[in-house]
Amino acid sequence: MAKTKTTFFCQNCGTQYPKWQGQCTACKEWNTIAEEIVQKEEKKSWKSDTSAAKRVSKPLKVKEIDTTEERRFDTRDSELNRVLGGGIVPGSLTLLGGEPGIGKSTLLLQVSLKLPHKTLYVSGEESQKQIKMRAERIQPDSENCYILTETKTQNIFKQIEAIEPDIVIIDSIQTLHTDYIESSPGSISQIRECTSELIKFAKETATPVILIGHITKDGNIAGPKILEHMVDTVLQFEGDRNHVYRILRALKNRFGSTSELGIYEMQGNGLREVINPSEILVSKHDEDLSGTAIAATLEGMRPLMIEIQALVSTAVYGTPQRSSTGYNVKRLNMLLAVLEKRAGFRLGAKDVFLNVTGGISVDDPAIDLAVIAAILSSNEDIAVDRSICFAAEVGLAGEIRPVNRIDQRILEAEKLGFEQILVSKHNKISIKNTAIQVRLAGKIEDVVSELF
């Protein structure tokens, strides 16, 4: 009897070792190396008839390569198309990652139902009935979408040969297993092997494949970086599960830019594309409220107006609390220190709570000025004029710093009917004759005297 063959894999980076060791020498993580059974039978192609596997590719001159096939699939979803760089490339492998319950299955099922092409949606997580129930919520009538519940790649390929789909969706890669490897589904060697079988299938038949991948608690795609290296495109679906807005972004894209962004709203009947996000993120109320300010931010390439809310109140307990949702709390502390030192506001004994509305998390430093305006407005209990918005970074010396793509931000603010925008006086603004009044500030003190 053949001896069972095992190998040791780092569960973090996927490096292979002949024997166990405490630390992975590649990624320097401790206790991540685990034994997996990799007994391999003789390897076959994804196809049952192996003639395709014998084909040998030969080098071609760049100009000889035929690119006519590279016409992209329109996914009928403008947000997904935008993030992918104009649609799905035939033969490409796309990985969609995201936390559980964020809506990955919903998004891809919705795309499969909308597509006019023949789609195969393979699920290893839900039964056909469950998927049907979900499909009925989203779009009850679809002609070309096939649902398969299967986890063994060989069986999936058998069905693919029978149906010949134009696009294949796998929910999720962590549930798949192949006969050629004996370790359990979700282990590094299984994920790697199943993905490489799918890659071979995708490249040989020019059929695009989309994989759903789970995310671990620290935000990485479960089963290793290796998966991200193997696929062509990595998309991430993120958002706060308790809010309705979801953001789709590309972390890697071999066929397009990674700075595009898609925004969706989760509704009772699936995900709705949000074409003009600024309009919903900025709440409309009639009376002036203190503690709110609007920032003109950029998420990827898209300008987005976001409302910042702050609450400053006298601390009840000894140590004041600083809490922030959607904005880095360290940066909040830094801005509070700047306000104290450079503008003379005594906030040391105050609780400060900050919230970016819509459940969105913002990294763009251009929201600093709006954060400061919201805090001061709450502290003084004077509302910021609702026709003003802000776009500038604040430095440690209390200086108002320029931000990138200022023209785009100004135009978005103008489009939404703002009358004034406060920016850094060092920003180079090339657009002229705007209906919106551009006000310049150099230091925090200028902002304070302009606003209050």
- Closer to ligand TYD at the Cβ: 271 or 295? 271
- DSSP state, residue 38: -
Min separation Cβ 214 and Mg ion, Å: 9
98 is in an annotated binding site: yes
The Cα–Cα gap between 392 and 364 comes to: 10
- Closer to Mg ion at the Cβ: 105 or 278? 105
- Closer to Mg ion at the Cβ: 14 or 98? 98
Specify whether the CB–CB gap between 370 and 389 falls below 8 A.
yes
Min separation Cβ 241 and ligand TYD, Å: 7
- Closer to Mg ion at the Cβ: 75 or 105? 105
Specify whether the CB–CB gap between 253 and 233 falls below 8 A.
yes
- Closer to ligand TYD at the Cβ: 138 or 384? 138
Specify whether the CB–CB gap between 69 and 75 falls below 8 A.
no
Amino acid at 204: E
The Cα–Cα gap between 39 and 7 comes to: 9
* Binding partner at 386 among ligand TYD, Mg ion, none, C-beta below 5 to 8 Å by kind: none
Min separation Cβ 150 and ligand TYD, Å: 17
Binding part of the chain for Mg ion, among 101-109, 136-144, 147-155, 249-257 by CB under 5 A, reads 101-109
- Closer to ligand TYD at the Cβ: 109 or 451? 109
C-alpha distances in angstroms, 23 versus 13, 33, 294?
12, 8, 48
The Cα–Cα gap between 373 and 296 comes to: 13
Residues ≥6 apart with Cβ < 8 Å to 189: 7, 9, 36, 38, 181, 183
Binding part of the chain for ligand TYD, among 80-88, 268-276, 390-398, 440-448 by CB under 6 A, reads 268-276
- Closer to ligand TYD at the Cβ: 90 or 103? 103
**For the window 225-264, what string marks contact with ligand TYD as x by the rule CB under 6 A?**
----------------------------------------
359 is in an annotated binding site: no
Q: By CB under 6 A, tell whether 272 contacts ligand TYD.
A: no
User: Phi/psi zone of residue 381: left (φ > 0), alpha (ψ -120 to 50 degrees), beta?
Assistant: left
> Phi and psi dihedrals of 303, rounded to 5?
-70, 145
294 is in an annotated binding site: no
Q: What 3-state class would DSSP assign to 79? A: helix
Residues ≥6 apart with Cβ < 8 Å to 168: 119, 120, 122, 160, 198, 201, 202, 207, 208, 209, 210
C-beta neighbour count of 150 within 10 angstroms: 16
Q: By CB under 6 A, tell whether 14 contacts ligand TYD.
A: no
Residue of 105, 119, 183, 195 interacting with Mg ion (CB under 5 A): 105
Residue of 14, 87, 97, 98 interacting with ligand TYD (CB under 6 A): 98
* Binding partner at 103 among Mg ion, ligand TYD, none, C-beta below 5 to 8 Å by kind: ligand TYD
- Closer to ligand TYD at the Cβ: 270 or 326? 270
Min separation Cβ 364 and Mg ion, Å: 30
Residue of 134, 152, 203, 425 interacting with ligand TYD (CB under 6 A): 134
Binding residues with ligand TYD: total (CB under 6 A): 15
Sheet of 6-10, strand order:
16-17, 6-10, 33-37
Instruction: Specify which residues 389 forms β-bridges with.
Output: 294, 421
Q: By CB under 6 A, tell whether 124 contacts ligand TYD.
A: no
The Cα–Cα gap between 227 and 95 comes to: 8
Binding part of the chain for ligand TYD, among 134-142, 324-332, 363-371, 406-414 by CB under 6 A, reads 134-142
- Closer to Mg ion at the Cβ: 212 or 338? 212
The Cα–Cα gap between 100 and 238 comes to: 10
Q: By CB under 5 A, tell whether 174 contacts Mg ion.
A: no
Binding part of the chain for ligand TYD, among 96-104, 192-200, 274-282, 377-385 by CB under 6 A, reads 96-104
Min separation Cβ 443 and ligand TYD, Å: 46
User: Which residue is it, tokens 């070309």?
Assistant: 144
Residue of 80, 188, 266, 282 interacting with ligand TYD (CB under 6 A): 266
105 is in an annotated binding site: yes
Residue showing the smallest CB distance to Mg ion in the complex? 105
Min separation Cβ 206 and Mg ion, Å: 27
C-alpha distances in angstroms, 15 versus 191, 293, 322, 394, 417?
14, 49, 41, 43, 55
100 is in an annotated binding site: yes
The Cα–Cα gap between 364 and 412 comes to: 16
> Phi and psi dihedrals of 424, rounded to 5?
-75, 145
Question: Can you give the binding site for ligand TYD, defined by CB under 6 A?
Answer: 98, 100-106, 134, 137-138, 266, 268-270
Question: Can you give the binding site for Mg ion, defined by CB under 5 A?
Answer: 105
Provide the annotated binding site for ATP: 98-105
